[in-house]
């Protein structure tokens, strides 16, 4: 069956990150250099863990009625805050959300890790299910965000969870993009969320990918592309976008914030954790082809660049292979740390805000680019860019999963 092609608009955005809640606080932080990296002193009690830095989303979440959120852990609550903010910005009415015309595609690395820990502790230490509530499992099931958001919003359209670690949000955006573009749904809610837990830090610490040399200097790490980088810092947050066909946005008479014009995802097929420059380059080429754009059309790339030694090198070489040294490049993870399953959505919102406000955020802590990284046009200070029109965002995950999508200012 052939569907009419749709241009895809972004009409709503909502987020909470280590930089705070809402668009204003996050954008001001990107411009001022404020970061969200803090010492996680409690992690010292875990033997064999070298990293002591994290990036929590410190703002207090709203006080929701217990009945509405009793099956949500922290990751679900973060996703609810971001999604309600996006829905409000897009002026979506409750009746329309319940109509079946709106779907949701949402992801996280997994469910609530804190709730998983609590469930397992009660079960295995007590050798009994007696102390466990019936609402426990929905808090840590893999699709907790997508399912709980659907219940909270009374959404009756399709619910599509995407669980792919650090590409959960970006793949969710891609799936939603194709749903709207194909005409399957006029509006999709999409994004990702993550809660901070020592398990996440430990996973990266075990593979020597977590920052350990700046435990007493939290402001100095992470350092994307920098010669003195020593690994990533895990963070938390949530980001939600409202994707909508241009026809629907115009019919509803709502502002179009940006246009999503291309997306691609592929797999390296080579190694479960080591990145592949070849796979990264190919996914960017595919995204350009999907958008029918030449590399010269891209003004700025928000790199995945988590500040791992091999990851930054591989991505820089992939970018250079396609774009050379012309395109502006930075990584906002220097401000937020790596928010894992949420990063694709949070960074998409940052890109849209840069398009709207005419600036490029720098790679915080980038003082001397690693000579092993390709000679890119790295942005090290806030750069006013009034002519910014088209940007690319990259994200990569364990399993060799790569994503790239392209955003453009609306006509």
CB 404 within 8 A of CB 393: yes
Going edge to edge, which strands form the sheet with 234-235?
A: 38-39, 53-55, 234-235
Q: What is the DSSP letter of 220?
A: G
Q: What is the pLDDT of residue 2?
A: 37
Q: What is the DSSP string of 356-367?
A: HHTEE---TT-S
Secondary structure (3-state) at 194 = strand
Q: What pTM does this model have?
A: 0.97
How many whole angstroms separate alpha carbon 177 and alpha carbon 174? 5
- The per-residue pLDDT for range 196-223, each reduced to its tens digit, is 999 999 999 999 999 999 999 999 999 9
Q: What is the mean pLDDT of the chain?
A: 96
User: How many other C-beta atoms lie within 10 A of the C-beta of residue 309?
Assistant: 14
Q: Indicate which residues carry an active-site annotation.
A: 166, 304, 338
Domain 8-408, CATH 3.40.47.10 — does that match? yes
Q: What is the pLDDT of residue 137?
A: 96
Q: What is the pLDDT of residue 286?
A: 98
Mean pLDDT of 220-237: 98
- The per-residue pLDDT for range 30-77, each reduced to its tens digit, is 999 999 999 999 999 999 999 999 999 987 899 999 999 999 999 999
Q: What is the pLDDT of residue 6?
A: 84
- Pairing mode of beta strands 187-194, 102-107: parallel
Of all residues in the chain, the percent with pLDDT exceeding 90 is 98
Say which residues have a Cβ less than 8 Å from residue 70's Cβ, sequence separation at least 6: 135
Radius of gyration for the chain, computed over Cα atoms and rounded to the nearest angstrom = 20
Strands (E), 268-372: 300-302, 328-330, 359-360
Which tokens is 88 given?
């409000």
Which tokens is 273 given?
């954790």
Confidence of residue 5 (pLDDT cuts 50, 70, 90): low
Per-domain residue ranges of the chain: 8-408
Give 215-220 contacts, CB < 8 A, sequence gap 24+: 215/39, 215/51, 215/52, 215/53, 216/39, 218/37, 218/38, 218/39, 218/53, 219/35, 219/37, 220/365
Q: What is the DSSP string of 7-54?
A: -EEEEEEEEEETTEESHHHHHHHHHHT----EE-GGGGGSTT----EE
Say which residues have a Cβ less than 8 Å from residue 369's Cβ, sequence separation at least 6: 225, 226, 227, 375, 376, 378
- The per-residue pLDDT for range 303-338, each reduced to its tens digit, is 999 999 999 999 999 999 999 999 999 999 999 999
Q: What is the pLDDT of residue 187?
A: 98
Mean pLDDT of 113-120: 96
- The per-residue pLDDT for range 268-277, each reduced to its tens digit, is 999 999 999 9
Q: What is the pLDDT of residue 59?
A: 76
Say which residues have a Cβ less than 8 Å from residue 48's Cβ, sequence separation at least 6: none
Confidence of residue 411 (pLDDT cuts 50, 70, 90): confident
**In the predicted structure, residue 84 carries a pLDDT above the cut 90:** yes
């Amino acid at each position: 069956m052939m569907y009419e092609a749709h241009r895809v608009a972004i009409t709503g955005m909502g987020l909470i990150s280590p930089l705070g809640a809402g668009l204003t606080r996050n954008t001001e932080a990107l411009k001022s250099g404020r970061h969200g990296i803090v010492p996680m002193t409690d992690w010292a009690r875990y033997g064999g863990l070298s990293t002591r830095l994290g990036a929590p989303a410190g703002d207090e979440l709203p006080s929701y009625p217990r009945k509405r959120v009793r099956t949500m852990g922290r990751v679900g609550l973060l996703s609810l805050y971001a999604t309600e903010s996006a829905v409000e910005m897009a002026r979506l009415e409750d009746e329309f959300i319940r109509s079946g015309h709106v779907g949701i595609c949402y992801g996280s690395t997994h469910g609530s890790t804190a709730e998983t820990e609590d469930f397992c502790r009660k079960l295995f230490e007590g050798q009994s299910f007696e102390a466990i509530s019936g609402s426990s499992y929905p808090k840590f099931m893999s699709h907790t965000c997508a399912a709980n958001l659907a219940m909270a919003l009374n959404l009756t359209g399709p619910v599509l969870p995407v669980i792919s670690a650090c590409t959960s949000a970006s793949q969710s955006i891609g799936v939603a993009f194709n749903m709207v573009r194909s005409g399957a749904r006029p509006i999709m809610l999409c994004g990702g969320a993550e809660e901070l837990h020592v398990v996440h830090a430990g996973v990266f610490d075990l593979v020597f990918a977590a920052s350990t040399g700046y435990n007493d200097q939290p402001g100095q790490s992470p350092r994307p592309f920098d010669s003195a980088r020593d690994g990533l810092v895990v963070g938390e947050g949530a980001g939600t976008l409202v994707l909508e066909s241009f026809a629907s946005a115009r019919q509803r008479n709502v502002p179009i914030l940006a246009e999503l014009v291309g997306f691609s995802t592929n797999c390296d097929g080579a190694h479960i954790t080591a990145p592949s420059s070849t796979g990264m380059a190919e996914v960017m080429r595919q995204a350009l082809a999907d958008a029918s754009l030449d590399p010269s059309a891209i003004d700025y790339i928000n790199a995945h660049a988590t500040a791992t030694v091999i990851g930054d090198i591989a991505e820089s070489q992939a970018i250079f292979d396609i774009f050379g040294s012309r395109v502006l490049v930075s990584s906002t993870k220097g401000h937020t740390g790596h928010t894992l399953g949420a990063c694709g959505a949070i960074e998409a919102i940052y890109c849209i805000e840069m398009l709207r406000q005419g600036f490029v955020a720098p790679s915080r802590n980038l003082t001397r680019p690693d000579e092993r990284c390709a000679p890119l046009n790295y942005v090290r200070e806030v750069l006013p860019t009034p002519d910014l029109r088209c940007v690319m965002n990259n994200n990569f995950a364990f399993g060799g999963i790569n994503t790239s999508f392209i955003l453009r200012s609306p006509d």
